[in-house]
Amino acid sequence: MHNQEEAAQAYADLHLSFVTIHPFFDGNGRMARLLANLPVLKSGLPPIVVPQEDRYQYKVCLSAYQSTVTDLAELRDFAQLPANSEKQRFVELCTGYWSQTIDLLNKAHEVQSKRLG
């Protein structure tokens, strides 16, 4: 089980690793987001959802990170992927998306609590 900080880091690690090595032109993001949410959900936390209106910023951030990966053809272990400021920026971006989801859930719980009285 992960706490929220560890879960966000696990999400980013899985997401960046998968999308960096996934060989297909289309579907990388969808599959990476699905896969990366597994440790988050397993920890009992809500999924990290990238809002449609932020997809461009999300893709720019991914691209910026991927541009820091050198010698991808020589990659033998995900631990060789760089842990740098671009990766940290992606973690922060995803954590921000997560905050929006958590806020929505909290508001829904408040409404439900008021209804149940």
The active-site residue, picked from 2, 15, 22, 109, is 22
**Confidence label for 57 from pLDDT (cuts 50, 70 and 90):** very high
Q: Assess contact for 12 and 94: CB atoms under 8 A.
A: yes
Q: Is the pLDDT of residue 23 over 90?
A: no
Fold classification of 4-116 (topology level): Fic-like fold (1.10.3290)
- Segments making up each domain of the chain, as ranges: 4-116
pTM attached to this predicted model: 0.77
- Residue 56: what pLDDT? 92
Q: Based on the residue annotation, tell me whether 2 is a catalytic residue of this protein.
A: no
Which residues are within 8 A (CB) of 19 and not within 5 positions of it... i.e. 6 or more apart? 28, 29, 32, 62, 66
Q: Is the pLDDT of residue 78 over 80?
A: no
Which residues are within 8 A (CB) of 39 and not within 5 positions of it... i.e. 6 or more apart? 2, 7, 10, 11, 14
> Lowest-confidence range among 10-19, 37-46, 67-76, 100-109?
67-76
- Rounded to an integer, the average pLDDT of 25-36 is 80
Report the distance separating Cα 2 and Cα 7, nearest Å.
5
